Amino acid sequence: MEHHILMLANAELEKRQLEASEKLYGRIIENCIQGSRCSAEDLAVAFNNRGQIKYLRVEFYEAMDDYTEAIRIKSDFEVPYYNRGLILYRLGFFDEAVKDFQKVLELNPNFKDARISLQQSLQDKEEKMRKVSCNSQDEKCA
């Protein structure tokens, strides 16, 4: 039953029907929490995809909560690590973003976007540290 609802929710998300898909993902999550038989994979996907909807609405912290819950349920699911890493990067939490992107690559070494995001996070972290160092030394840095 929950898998069928998940397929409906995914179809709504694909059509960018965010409100409808969010309600369906919420229904899956609620049913699973209340004891309905559902697979860990379906529940993790529901949390991840609901997090994606929140991300699209720029509700970053709420999205990260859903991604973290997806990871708690299925720790070998690389997508929520990647999604959470993107938010952490956007918020300037480079160390945490790096950890998430590294975990993605540990789980799936062929995840090209995670490799690119990891490199960018490391570069931006270095740049941020250089600027902080320059500012604290009252020197001109080029």
pLDDT above 80: residue 139: no
Q: Residue 129 has what pLDDT?
A: 86
Q: Which fold has domain 1-75?
A: 1.25.40
- What count of Cα atoms within 13 Å lies in the side-chain half-sphere of residue 71? 19
Q: Residue 52 has what pLDDT?
A: 98
> Which token pair is 119?
């490199």
Is 76-142 a CATH 2.40.50 domain? Answer: no
pTM of the model: 0.90
Instruction: Give the model's confidence band at 113: pLDDT under 50 very low, under 70 low, under 90 confident, else very high.
Output: very high
The ranges assigned to domains in the chain are: 1-75, 76-142
Q: pLDDT tens-digit profile of 21-56?
A: 999 999 999 999 998 889 999 999 999 999 999 999
Question: Which residues make Cβ contacts (< 8 Å) with residue 43, sequence separation at least 6?
Answer: 2, 28, 29, 32, 73, 74
Domains 1-75 and 76-142 belong to one CATH topology: yes
Q: Residue 37 has what pLDDT?
A: 86
